[in-house]
Amino acid sequence: MLRVADTLSVAAAEARMIGGEVLPVAGWGRGVGNTAITQRAPAGPVLAITPFNAPANLLAHKLAASFAAGNTTIVKPPPQAPAVSTALVELLLEAGIPVEAVQVLHGGGDVGAALCAAPEIAVVSFTGGVAAGHAVARAAGPKRVMLELGGNAATIVCEDADVAAAALACARTGYSNSGQSCISVQRVYVHRSRFEEFAEELTAQVKGLAVGDPLDSGTDVGSMVDDDAAERVVRWTAEAAAQGARVTTGGTRDGSVMAPTVVVAPPAEAKVVREEVFGALVAVLPYDGFDEVIEECNRSSYGLQAGLFTHDVRRIVTAWRELEVGGLIVNGSSNFRLDHVPFGGVKDSGIGRESPRWMIEDFTVTKTLMLKGLTIWGDE
């Protein structure tokens, strides 16, 4: 909840920065003698649909930015984790947010579809899976829609990288929240000269992760959202092994708890490479040339965030320019986010950017005031 408080503080700071412009219209002949002023005005009621994997902070982003922009917000929490959203809204109401500013409506996809289609809703902000995001966009029709969707994030480990540090980072961030994060490390591309070294180091680090009760502070990997989600990861692991990959650890489950899994050298067509695993699995793949690995990363239909371990500035700039992603983390894995920095993807990873400043832009509209015959620029 400390992160939630930080997000609310960021939104409060950004609320003080909402402004407009006085436009230099006299720079064109027809503008002489006139003044044009713009302001950012509330867009109207916002629908915030949040996912189960981070129900508190992602709601904080949407609700705080909407409130800062002057809108009322309808919150549709995830059916798998409704209590956290309700508790956060209750805390905000206790703190003094007007009751007219926020309402909570629980339900499944039918409720979400009805709300998206409602003409009273001006803006829809959705975080979740790709299929659900497409359904939201169809239901919303010609409204503003912001979609923060899935990913199968890639991290590149170059030959000049500190392999031990890279393996530790990937182990820690590939399995946090049981891998149920849209930027969780899923595909790690390692230069062939360091490939086996990295695979061994990552496997050793992953074997050392503590698996157990997620409420225990000593636990590194807890349960997934349900048994079906864990079974899907087991099935995809077995499919990759049947296609020739090596499973160096994991590949099994105990109920909804997926053993942290490392899949080495799966083929490019394997689901653990092509699809979003959204579970406790990291795939490790070799590459030979930097241009080649950029192409491999970009073969994905997703483009949310990527990681890059190197000390070569030219490679950093090349990756930043060429990777089809919304963000690049240098000397860190794909799984890193600061709440006051724009976050979002391209391709099937969504539309728009999250974080209060950029969401306030989406939750407001530009209104223009034109003063005919009244100028601050002079008549000539």
- Domain limits of the chain? 2-149+349-370, 154-330
User: Which tokens sit at 360?
Assistant: 């306030």
Pairing of strands 46-49, 246-249: unpaired
Domains 2-149+349-370 and 154-330 share a fold: no
Residue 184 is which amino acid?
S
Closest CA to 238 of 195, 271, 215, 200: 271
- Conformational region of residue 67, where left means phi above 0, alpha means psi within -120 to 50, and beta covers everything else: alpha
Pairing of strands 73-76, 46-49: parallel
Q: What's the CA gap between 277 and 76, in Å, rounded? A: 25
Contact between 284 and 202 under an 8 Å Cβ cutoff? The reply is: yes
What is the third-level CATH fold of 2-149+349-370? Aldehyde Dehydrogenase; Chain A, domain 1 (3.40.605)
Cβ count near 57 (within 10 Å): 20
Residue 377 pLDDT > 80: no
Q: How high is the pLDDT of residue 29?
A: 87
User: Which tokens sit at 304?
Assistant: 């949310």
Mean pLDDT of the chain: 96
Per residue in 140-151, pLDDT (tens digit) is: 999 999 999 999
Q: What is the CATH number of domain 154-330?
A: 3.40.309.10
What percent of the chain is predicted at pLDDT more than 70?
A: 99
Q: Helix H segments across 175-279? A: 195-207, 227-242, 271-274
Q: Tell me, yes or no, if 159 is annotated catalytic.
A: no
Per residue in 174-215, pLDDT (tens digit) is: 999 999 999 999 999 999 999 999 999 999 999 999 999 888
Pairing of strands 261-264, 246-249: antiparallel
Residue 223 pLDDT > 90: yes
Catalytic residue selected from 94, 100, 148, 275: 148
| Mean pLDDT, range 92-110, rounded to an integer | 96
